[in-house]
Amino acid sequence: MMDKTINVLIADDHTLLRRGLVKLLEMTDDIKVVGQALNGHEAVEFAKELSPDVVLMDINMPGLNGIEATRLITKELGNIPILALTIHDDEEYIAEMIRAGARGYILKDSELNSLVQAIRRLAAGESFFPSHLMEKVMNRFHQLVMQQGEATKIMASFNEAAQNLTRRELEVLQCIVDGMSNKECAEHLFISEKTVKNHVTNLLRKLDVEDRTQAAVYAVQHGIVKARD
């Protein structure tokens, strides 16, 4: 459990689902729903007004959909992490949400514990993608890059990035691609959580990306590490 309350904005046009999420999330001690948006336009406006710690964003909403709303929020309020909450596990939807700026993706039929974990991780500056969904989206990004005929560029980027990363940084990068939190990575590598955070900071700088999600996408796109089951 986090020390501070996590303020959450929910954007979903299904009233029953939205109200159900509110009741479920408010059963936790550290999560508070501060706003409910019925569509993408409201999501953008409420995000500006409320400055939530995390936005739960449905993809299919009337008017402005969740992808476009995510893109606008990321552009105008880039520090607010967005968690896609949807029925879709198609890699196209996942890829589009990542491109738009989402830092996490979870299905609506997930257990409450998974949703709470995802919210807490995004609020802590991390990302959240279930491993089977991460594998799908990484495969999709790889296909798109190869279709664009950038194999030579990929290898050049791989060689440069691989040379710049230390062995431990590569191990931490693999943890990120595998969907581990900083704590899980620390336990896996038998190092402190603070050390993991330092390695993540160095990774973002060396790969010239803004967050863990972009680092994971970059790493798999360029063959630095592989998405695993």
Q: What is the pLDDT of residues 3-39, one digit of tens each?
A: 689 999 999 999 998 999 999 998 999 999 999 999 9
What is residue 186's predicted lDDT score, i.e. its pLDDT? 93
Burial per residue of 105-136, b for 16 or more beta-carbon CB atoms within 10 angstroms, e otherwise: bbeeeeeeeebbebbbbbbeebbbbbeebbbb
The pTM for the full model equals 0.71
Q: Which two tokens stand for residue 67?
A: 């992808």
Alpha-carbon span 122 to 179, nearest angstrom: 12
Residue 1 binned pLDDT confidence (cut-offs 50, 70, 90) = very low
Q: Which two tokens stand for residue 52?
A: 């939530």
Report the candidate in 133, 148, 152 with the shortest Cα–Cα distance to residue 88.
133
Beta strands in 62-171 (DSSP E): 82-86, 104-107
The tokens for 36 are 């409910």
pLDDT tens digits along 107-148: 888 888 999 999 999 999 888 887 677 666 666 666 655 555
